[in-house]
Amino acid sequence: MLIHRRGFIAGMAALVAVPRQAGAVAPITDPELARFIAGMPKAEYHVHLEGTLEADMKFALARRNGLKLPFADVAAMKASYDFHDLPSFLKIYYDGMKVLLKEQDFYDLAYAYLVKAASQNVIYAEMFFDPQEHLKRGVPMAAVIGGITRARRDAQAKLGIRSQLILCFVRDLSAESAMAALDAALPFKADLVGVGLDSDEKDNPPEKFRAHFAKARVNGLHVTAHCDVDQVDSLGHIRTVLLDLKADRIDHGGNIVQSPELVAIARQRSIYFTVCPTFSGTLRAGLKEPVDVVRAMLDAGLKVTISSDDPAYMGSEYLNDVLIRAVDRSNLTRDELTMIARNGFEAAWLPEADKSALIARLESYLRSAA
């Protein structure tokens, strides 16, 4: 039985963009554009593996693990995905992942995402996972990282998709819990490429994790952090992530367009932003009119990449769907779209030669599609 464990204060509804649900958007109308996007080699940097846990897989894993779910069927479960802001989304997301218990469960989860991504011509992905939530249920770190790593290797061998793994600190749990997770993960650091920071931002500023990021860096890991759109003190959090934690990337980060000073710093440091328009496509906080995040960030000269975030909870729309909708919604030109795709490979936490090889595949596609 899934127990609702978290009691978030949903006080930010007015500030948070309402996520777009499947069915709430116009159908995709330009088949030529859809074909161009589908065929394009792509990278993805902001996808939470637990956010790719589809309802049918939840039922299969619950059956395998002897758990009873409080839903009659897949349709009833999906109907419960009724969130309106970050805390109400997180509650559903954390409840859903409780079916993940064994190494094989993590394998199946990661492999299923990689199959879908590869089928959409994603050739490289850096994927988040939230180990603190699994450790709390008594799942050993070896099972979590072991299952995902085995899936990554199999997917590369069988499907040709390359991937790496980013450990996220769950910012609304204690700093001690995050440090314990990092310590438990360090024996597996060869299987990780970086650390990130996700979950509920309210009262959980990035500096709470200063020591964790420092320790991760000493251990050769890259650093990124979520600065979700329209949170309390979004700009303060972006400032800390840029100037104090000196992150290599920022996940979401749209509110930066409200500060010319921070925009200039991000541009000067070539910071890449992993933007997820399905989750937070519109900026509202402190603005007279809502602002399209992708359009505003591009117009500010920032390095935008686009990702799917938690596709299983967002109408099962994976990267191609998200990109097609972004073109429609933000009026992207073909040049802007290809720049976003190129940014996608330039942002990779890979050796320069590997990055160049990925970019060469994109360039070859663009020549053939011209």
Task: State yes or no: residue 317 binds ligand HPA (CB under 6 A).
Answer: no
> Could you give the CA distance from residue 242 to residue 223 in angstroms, rounded to a whole number?
11
Mask for 264-293, x = binds ligand HPA (CB under 6 A): ---------------x--------------
Q: Pick between residue 58 and residue 171 the one whose CB is nearest to Zn ion.
A: 171
Copy the structure tokens of residue 329: 């919604």
Residue 199: contacted member of Zn ion, ligand HPA, none (CB under 5 to 8 Å, by partner type): ligand HPA
Q: Among residues 239, 229, 327, which one has the least CA distance to residue 279?
A: 229
> Could you give the CA distance from residue 261 to residue 267 in angstroms, rounded to a whole number?
10
Q: Which residue among 42, 48, 98, 329 contacts ligand HPA (CB under 6 A)?
A: 48
> Could you give the CA distance from residue 198 to residue 133 in angstroms, rounded to a whole number?
12
Task: State yes or no: residue 228 binds ligand HPA (CB under 6 A).
Answer: yes
* Smallest distance from Zn ion to CB 106, Å: 19
* Smallest distance from ligand HPA to CB 51, Å: 5
Task: State yes or no: residue 133 binds ligand HPA (CB under 6 A).
Answer: no
The sheet carrying 222-227 orders its strands as: 42-48, 122-129, 162-170, 194-198, 222-227, 249-252, 272-275, 303-306
Element (H, E) at 262: helix 260-268
* Smallest distance from ligand HPA to CB 68, Å: 25
Interacting residues with Zn ion (CB under 5 A): 309
Alpha helices in 40-187 (DSSP H): 55-64, 74-79, 86-96, 103-119, 131-136, 141-159, 175-185
Mask for 92-121, x = binds ligand HPA (CB under 6 A): -x----------------------------
Q: Among residues 193, 20, 247, 19, which one has the least CA distance to residue 256?
A: 247
Q: Which residue among 105, 230, 310, 317 contacts ligand HPA (CB under 6 A)?
A: 310
Is the C-alpha dihedral spanning 195, 199, 201, 204 positive or negative?
negative
Q: How many CB atoms lie within 10 A of CB 158?
A: 12
* Smallest distance from Zn ion to CB 226, Å: 6
DSSP 8-state class, residue 183: H
Q: Which residue among 95, 103, 198, 321 contacts ligand HPA (CB under 6 A)?
A: 198
Q: Which residue among 149, 163, 199, 278 contacts ligand HPA (CB under 6 A)?
A: 199
Q: Pick between residue 40 and residue 166 the one whose CB is nearest to ligand HPA.
A: 166
* Smallest distance from Zn ion to CB 241, Å: 14
Binding site for ligand HPA (CB under 6 A): 48, 51, 93, 198-199, 226, 228, 279, 309-310
